[in-house]
């Protein structure tokens, strides 16, 4: 038998360290074909119910040299009671990482959005703001204040847009 299976396991605990209740479902995103054994795995759901907060399931590796298509993934849906919405993501079950793997090591992390702050003074101009109000052409996103007409200006798409300040 040339099929490579991986035993995938995980433990889910609530914040009070009690075991979570629910299931984790695995679905191939397409049919996985193993040419070495002439076996096909259809994209059906393989449920892994949580028992005392844990599961263990044997699944075909998605990168076995005898399997096609390459790059295939499992869609994972975590259905934990009391947690809404269900968490969904995709994983590759890479046999080179071992025949026993923990899902916590495979879950993709979602990076937090990058927030950049620019320290800049807002230019104050007496009268309407234009590119001529600056010593060099300002980039889009530049903000200026018209102190005479009480307007705030922002440069967008090479044009100055303004709004009155009450």
pLDDT digits over 151-166, tens only? 999 999 899 999 999 8
Kindly state the tokens that stand for 48.
């892994």
Last residue of a domain, one of 57, 75, 105: 105
In which order are the strands placed within the sheet that holds 151-156? 123-125, 143-146, 151-156, 159-164
Kindly state whether residues 97 and 140 are assigned to the same domain: no
pLDDT > 90: what percent of the chain? 66
CATH number of the domain that 50 lies in?
2.60.40.3390
Distance CA(90)–CA(96), nearest Å, equals 18
Kindly state whether residues 83 and 155 are assigned to the same domain: no
Query: Is there a domain that residue 52 lies in?
Result: yes
Kindly state the tokens that stand for 7.
């035993």
Query: Is there a domain that residue 117 lies in?
Result: no
Q: Over 90: is that where the pLDDT of 118 sits? A: no
Q: What is the pLDDT of residue 85?
A: 87
**Chain segment 83-117, per-residue pLDDT in tens:** 888 999 999 999 999 999 999 999 886 655 655 55
Query: Is there a domain that residue 84 lies in?
Result: yes
pTM of the complete model: 0.64
Kindly state the tokens that stand for 159.
């044009």
Q: Domain count for the chain, please give it.
A: 2
157 — alpha (psi -120 to 50), left (phi > 0) or beta? left
Q: Over 90: is that where the pLDDT of 45 sits? A: yes
């Amino acid at each position: 038998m040339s099929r490579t299976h991986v035993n995938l396991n995980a433990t889910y605990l609530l914040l009070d360290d009690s075991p979570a209740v629910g299931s984790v479902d695995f679905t191939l995103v397409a049919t996985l074909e193993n040419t070495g054994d002439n076996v096909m795995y259809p994209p059906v759901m393989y449920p892994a119910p949580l028992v005392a907060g844990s599961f263990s399931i044997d699944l075909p590796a998605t990168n076995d040299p005898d399997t096609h298509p390459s790059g295939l993934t499992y869609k994972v849906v975590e259905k934990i009671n009391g947690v809404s919405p269900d968490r969904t993501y995709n994983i590759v079950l890479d046999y080179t990482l071992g025949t026993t793997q923990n899902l916590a090591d495979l879950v993709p992390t979602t990076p937090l959005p990058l927030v950049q702050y620019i320290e800049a003074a807002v230019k104050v101009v007496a009268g309407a703001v234009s590119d001529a109000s600056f010593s060099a052409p300002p980039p889009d996103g530049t903000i200026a204040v018209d102190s005479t007409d009480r307007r705030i200006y922002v440069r967008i798409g090479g044009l100055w847009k303004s709004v009155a300040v009450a």
